[in-house]
Structure 1
Amino acid sequence: MGGGKRFAVLQCAEDSDYVKKMYEGYFGVFVGMLAEGGETWDVYRVAAGDFPNDEGIDAYDGFVITGSCNDAHGNDPWICKLLNLLKKLDSMKKKVLGICFGHQILARALGGRIGRAISGWDIGVRTIHFSPSSKLLASLKMPKLLPIIECHQDEVWELPSKAEVLAWSSKTGIEVFRYGDHMMGIQGHPEYTKDILLHLIDRLLQRNFIKESFAEEVRANVEVCEPDRDAWKKLCLGFLKGRLL
């Protein structure tokens, strides 16, 4: 694989047995969506304390930060270490794509404010509204409305002044943001299949994070709504691999 671009997944969640068995873990899910021929993809399980060293960072063309069960507004030692890493990547102008928890921790690292979502859990398939003035839309010829899988109870409250809000929804004010040409956060899960989401709903229910009535409502939503995974994949690839204006 030598000579191609190199990317790293900063994994912020433990793999469930189901995701390991069916998808080769969350790393496998992201590689399945984003990897192309000739590239090298590595994983660093940052939630377990596994970080790239300073010398190794420069070898990568881009980084992807995954979702997590942890709060991005928390101060666990690994979260503080991740914040420092993201600030370093910003100073190096490295491409960074943050997903869900990754979206939130990226906003925090850049100086934004994050916390519990004022309107509570957002789980299911939700329609995202893209800014009509965004050059990103023009360069990718994406629709103005795009459904995506959501599963979060935290959100970005406020972005640093230099960041641009690219998309929002009826539930969340900052669904997608961009900071310069090198950093982008997506609150939803472009990488998730409906199967992964339904499995996650069961896990949240078992741990008493959500109630049965809410779980039933979400399952009904998932049955009738389809995320546009191809369009989200195009957006993620376009950003991460420099195909946007």
Structure 2
Amino acid sequence: MLLGLLICDHARLELNHPDGSYPEMFRRILPDFEIRDYYVCDGAFPASPDECDGWLISGSRNSVYEEVDWIIKLIEFTQLIKDSGRPCIGVCFGHQMIGEALGGKVMKAPGGWCTGVHPFDIQIPQPWMDPPQQKVNLLMSCQDQVLTLPPDTQVLATSLHIPNGMILVGRNMLGIQGHPEFSVDFEENLIRINAQYLAPGQMEEDIESLKRPVHSGVVGKWMGKFLKDR
């Protein structure tokens, strides 16, 4: 299966981390897929949703409501993917892109930045959630959230601070607010770099949360099954 990766950012050079680029991170959690990279943040877009069998929208430092040419074009392309029926997964910014492009509303989260490990309760189990879990812990790095849902949306997973943590729009558009592609070490570096934006004491608390088990591998398997089962 050919998966098109719509890359919405470049990994920050100051991280200088062995995890490498965002495409390399996604290849690690989706090893069974042939992945074609499209740096949409640099204006490199596919001609059509039919170029690939499925799609994946990455995270980004940008916000989906910014009036930037490539973001406006990505909103339009996300709508085309939805109409094509091809499966698509959005991660963090990509999750928010699905929400915004398909009729929802993304805004700054009332509680500010979410970083570290957050537990999500599965509300509506799906056949592709194999192995099954009632709860998953995911790494987070976001200040925006999908606060108003698009039409025809199911909320599959929630957490205390992220009520719309995993959403399914129609049958083919899956949004995941967490970062299953990140490693714990990468997340810690990111928290330290963003410490100036966090509430007092939050950096230490969120770094301490990294000692909890993380279910990135499980969610990576779910993503693969979702893409293949559509």
Written as runs of structure 1 = structure 2, the 5 A alignment for 1:120-135 is 120-131=112-123, 134-135=124-125
CA RMSD of aligned residues (A): 1.9
Identity %: 28
Identify the residue that residue 11 of structure 2 maps to in structure 1. 15
Written as runs of structure 1 = structure 2, the 5 A alignment for 1:46-195 is 46-54=40-48, 57-131=49-123, 134-136=124-126, 140-195=130-185
Q: Secondary structure at the match of 1:83?
A: helix
Q: Using the TM superposition, give the Cα deviation of residue 211 of structure 1 relative to its aligned residue in structure 2, in angstroms.
A: 5.6
In structure 2, distance between residues paired with 1:185 and 1:18: 28
In structure 2, distance between residues paired with 1:119 and 1:168: 15
Whether 2:227 is the aligned partner of 1:240: answer: yes
Q: Using the TM superposition, give the Cα deviation of residue 212 of structure 1 relative to its aligned residue in structure 2, in angstroms.
A: 6.6
TM-score (normalizing by structure 1): 0.87
Query: How many residue pairs align between the two structures?
Result: 230
2:30 alignment partner AA: L
Q: Which runs of 5+ in 1 are unaligned?
A: none
Identify the residue that residue 40 of structure 1 maps to in structure 2. 34
Q: Secondary structure at the match of 1:140?
A: coil
Identify the residue that residue 218 of structure 1 maps to in structure 2. 206
Larger radius of gyration: 1
Compare 79-88 and 158-167 and name the one that shifted more: 158-167
> Does the 8 Å CA contact 1:35/1:41 hold for their aligned counterparts?
no
- 1:33-73 per-residue CA deviation (whole Å, 9 max, x = no partner) reads 1131xx4211111111111123xx31311111111111122
2:115 alignment partner AA: I
2:21 alignment partner AA: G
Give the structure, 1 or 2, with the largest relative contact order (CA under 8 Å, sep 6 or more). 2
Cα 1:195/1:88, change in 2 over 3 Å: same
Structure having the higher helix fraction is 1
In structure 2, distance between residues paired with 1:100 and 1:50: 20
In structure 2, distance between residues paired with 1:194 and 1:40: 25
Q: Which runs of 5+ in 2 are unaligned?
A: none
TM-score (normalizing by structure 2): 0.93
2:214 to 219, 227, 231: 227
